[in-house]
Chain A
Amino acid sequence: MTDCCNDYNRQAELSRRGFLKGLTAVGAGLAATQLFGETLLQASYAAPSGGNTMVVLSLRGGIDGLGVVVPHGDPGYYAARPNTAVPAPSTLAANALFGLHPAMSALLPYWNSGELAAVQAVGMQVPNRSHFSAIEEVEDAHPGSQARIGWVNRMIGAATTHTPLDAVQLGDQILPTALTGPASALAADGLDDLMLPGAKSDPSRIYPSMNAAWSSDSGPLGRSAREAIAVSSGPGAKVNNTAVSSAPYPTDWPSTELSNAFKSAARIIRADVGCDVIAIDYGGWDMHSGYGTVASGSMETYVRGFANSLAAFLGDLGPMRSKVTVVTISEFGRRVAENGNRGFDHGWANMMLLAGAGVKGGQYYGTWPGLGASALAEGDLQVTTDYRNVLGEVITKRFPDRSISEVFPGLSYAPLGLLT
């Protein structure tokens, strides 16, 4: 889908970036939308100031986990991938079975300092190879329930204290399933959009007129409009007054969007408005074709962009890393074997990465089911760890006031010991 034409895509993206830069100078309000583009960033503010933050990085499109946390010790990997496999000697942080894609070198210092860990063969209990319903299921995380309430929403709802804002999404105005539910959630294009027009220069006009418009509205936009008014006068103004970091982030495609999202995340954390969860959506992983090799192609480019941006974010946080835990999710892994286009169709089990506060890093976690023909499920790597147990452990360790059974109903909680 995204990558059938990688040869000229890169060129086009580069010129697109220049084009957008030009536009940024033209119109003040438009920058955020487009610079974030496909990367959605959402933040929830439920905790009191000074609390911990969980950054959930959704690698949308279904990242190929076997190409990130490479099972070089399993001969099945090389048998299934004659054209696309990462050679064992080029992997980083290798043990007898696994190693990381070499494009992740920027993250190696965090692995070596014990702040970055990986889990393999993780995912949903039952395979779902549809992008759209799989990601809904992952974000809803309440199998069998008809209510469309996301796990992030349940998590902020389970907090003992609340700020005027219960949830915020930045980078796009669309609320993902994870944040949908009874706890209030906000979605905005960028940090500059957290205030009403004229709220700084002329508050005596905008607030009374907006209150008159919406205070008793019972329509589908009423609650959101009232929350918008509260955000504008409260935490929105606080974030708005917090300086943008000058830390270096990669600016080359395809890092741009993710870098901007991370930069905003760091600013929200620095503003200390009591932010529990920041969710960032980084698409582009649906590589049915154009996957490439270890040295070039979509996978190498995207993994490098991802790793460089994440490393920049961890560096930007500096000492604040002691409060921030990053975890990746994706709707599904990809098939073990290459398709006819040297790409990978939709599969099942995947990997997850964890970084930052509390993580017992420098290690690979999970139970490896193997890649032998008899170990595969319809051609896919089997799931041996329920992804909710990874997220659940982060919540239990970093947000001990939340009830895990409330956030993940029906989960028999079995932590892997990923966090201290």
Chain B
Amino acid sequence: MAEPITLSYPLALPDVKARLFLNRFGTGYTPVALARMSAHGGPDQWLEAQLSPESVPESPKAAAIDNWFGHLRNSPSQIAADHKNSVRKYWEHNFDLSNWMLMRRIYSERIVLEQMATFLGNVLHISSHEDSTAPYRFDYEQMIRKHAFGRFEDLLVEASLHPAMRMYLDNRLSVKGKPNENQGRELLELHSVSRAAQYTEAMVLDSAKILSGYTVDWGKTYNPYYDPNKHTTGPVSVLGFTDPNAAADGQAMTIRYLKYLANHPSTAQTLARRMAIFFVSDQPSADLVNLLAQTYSSSGTSLKAMLRAIASSPEFLNSEGSKVRSPAADFIAGARVLGTDAKEPTGDGAYAYSAQWAHGELPLGYWPRPDGAPLRNDAWASPGRVLRSCGVHQDQAGGYWPTKDVTYRKAASWVPTASLTFQDLVSHLCRAWLGRDITPRLLTIATEATKIPATRTMTTANFPDWQLAYLGQALLSTPEHMTT
């Protein structure tokens, strides 16, 4: 278990690099996370430790969360039986998976693993809207985590053949002679080479032929299996991959094909670009993308090597302020700095079951299409999003919703000494919530929102909770919190 950390006043101030590492590679800065980073010796050492997640002591809360959602680990046939018997319908199962993901993003100490789970989950996205994926969806999530710092080649092979993917993109339905094109196309377009590789419609069909045969014993055992009677034979040719495809069993060929795609230069470019956009900026330089693509290829598709390359790139280190947090990421970072304490859920309306509706984005994993939730700013940088997130910040700071099975910190708990000026209190909160030093602008934001003069002496007695709601809303509805 992770060692408890005691913070002293005044709080330490992170430098830009520390803040960037926590906010981009992780799910968000907190004073405690910064203290752990310092204990490791700095951002680089901290990142190395995070890249071996099993070496990072986990928080007690993270273990508790796994128990709250223990039923996610049930076997596919059990999950199917629970659906049939209305113990837990598929859609409820998928929603619980989403809740589990959100709780882990907030409370895990392995915050780089959580961030990579978000990124890779979008690259190889399976929408939780698709009820039929439910029996396999948690295992899919675990599979992504297993490979998050490993080789993309292994991840692509396992994800493509995973029963959750067979269900989501229809491959389990493919029939001999008329393969379903759905996964064959998305494998090329979304999961590997992208349209930049200029594959033809004939190649899409061949891609579907190769994949055909991988199915699921749906309605009976729910086990995945290979059915040679569903495999379409005949010569295939996709972007330089060729095979006579004469055997009824195409499994060895399929693995070769998926590894071939993983190692294709177009896949290197595509993944490098997406990673640079997610971790660095919307307009990464060609040099950075090429560097990452080269790293990918020369390291045998190592995701860990790519993260290290980003961490040491000057372009990354100079990129603070260039990424807009998605509404969910904004909420997660807010819950972390505000110290929102989720308790074991005891029924409908519990924080752990309802927080998904509080952030204003679709629940995690519910992006409705196979292309994954957007990585670029423009999707999240609209006035409506700003309006929505401002309301979210007020709910979070004031503890207005959700209210069941959760403890929000009271205003008095944020007063760090017996008495101090309002300006010093704001200064403390800028460090606690934003990891920033106070500026005249931040002070104005705070005094306008609360109508408390900067010089007023503050104690636990004259800082009511409703003022905390105004102040939290105001300081979180800033570029300092909403962008990283």
Contact = CB atoms under 8 A, between A and B. Distances in A.
A26 B387 contact: no
A198 B182 CA distance: 47
B181 A345 contact: yes
Interface in B325-350: 327, 348-349
B174 A186 contact: no
Interface string A203-230: 0111011101110010111101101100
Nearest to B205: A345
Contacts of A221: 324, 377, 381, 386, 479, 482-483
Given A30-B357, A186-B382, A22 B181 contact: no
B268 to A, nearest CB: 20
B170 A288 contact: yes
B449 interface: yes
Given A174-B374, A221-B483, A27 B402 contact: yes
Contact of A341 (B170, B349, B386): B170
B388 A173 contact: yes
B479 A193 contact: no
Contact of B382 (A187, A195, A209, A341): A187
Contacts of A37: 362, 368
- B91, B131, B385, B441: residue with the most chain A Cβ atoms closer than 10 Å: B385
Interface bin, chain A: 35 or more
Given A27-B354, A189-B388, A222-B479, A288 B89 contact: no
Interface stretch (B27-35, B63-71, B391-399): B391-399
A288 B387 contact: no
Interface string B140-184: 000000000000000000000000000111101111011111100
A345 B179 CA distance: 10
A77 to B, nearest CB: 19
A129 B188 CA distance: 13
A1 B171 CA distance: 10
Contacts of A259: none
A228 B382 CA distance: 8
A34 interface: yes
B386 A345 contact: no
B202 to A, nearest CB: 9
Nearest to B393: A197
Interface residues of B, number: 83
B351 to A, nearest CB: 11
A2 B450 CA distance: 49
B423 interface: no
Given A197-B391, A220-B377, A340-B178, A209 B131 contact: no
Contacts of B167: 4-5
Contacts of A12: 89-91, 131
A346 B129 contact: no
A38 interface: yes
Given A1-B182, A33-B357, A224-B386, A341 B168 contact: no
A378 interface: yes
B96 to A, nearest CB: 12
Contacts of B370: 1
B182 A189 contact: no
A340 B179 contact: yes
B201 A228 contact: no
B244 interface: no
A340 B395 contact: no
B448 interface: yes
A209 B169 CA distance: 48
A8 B175 contact: no
Contacts of A185: 382
A220 B483 contact: yes
B479 A339 contact: no
A340 B478 contact: no
A288 B131 contact: no
A27 B179 CA distance: 46
A175 interface: yes
Contacts of A222: 479
A275 B445 CA distance: 33
Contacts of A209: 444-446, 448-449, 474
Interface stretch (A81-89, A130-138, A244-252, A401-409): A130-138
Contact of B383 (A5, A217, A224): A224
B483 A212 contact: no
Contacts of A219: 321-322, 479, 483
B44 interface: no
A194 B388 CA distance: 8
A193 B441 contact: no
B371 interface: yes
A51 B196 CA distance: 43
B378 A180 contact: yes
B382 A173 contact: yes
Contacts of B282: 220
Contact of B390 (A5, A16, A27, A197): A197
B178 A130 contact: no
A195 B189 contact: no
B479 A228 contact: no
B401 interface: yes
A385 interface: no
Contact of B182 (A220, A288, A378): A288
Contacts of B385: 173, 187-188, 224
A29 B392 contact: yes
B174 A340 contact: yes
A129 B470 CA distance: 50
Contacts of B61: none
- B179, B381, B473: residue with the most chain A Cβ atoms closer than 10 Å: B381
Contacts of B388: 29, 173, 188-189, 193
Given A170-B384, A187-B382, A228-B386, A38 B479 contact: no
Contacts of A33: 357, 360-362
A82 B445 CA distance: 67
A217 B444 CA distance: 15
Interface string B459-484: 00000000000100110011100110
Contacts of B182: 1, 288, 345
B406 to A, nearest CB: 13
A90 interface: no
Contacts of A195: 387
A309 interface: no
A189 B391 CA distance: 12
Given A283-B368, A289-B173, A214 B479 contact: yes
B456 interface: no
B379 interface: yes
A310 interface: no
A289 B390 contact: no
A412 interface: no
B384 A228 contact: yes
Interface string B185-220: 100011000010000010010000000000000000
Nearest to B370: A1
Given A193-B391, A209-B449, A210-B390, 17 more contacts: A2-B130, A4-B172, A26-B349, A29-B388, A168-B383, A169-B384, A174-B379, A187-B385, A189-B388, A193-B384, A205-B448, A208-B448, A212-B445, A214-B478, A219-B483, A220-B321, A339-B178
Nearest 4 CB-CB pairs, A to B? A188-B384, A340-B178, A187-B382, A30-B357
13 contacts: A1-B168, A26-B402, A129-B185, A173-B385, A175-B379, A189-B388, A197-B391, A204-B451, A210-B474, A212-B445, A213-B477, A339-B180, A345-B180
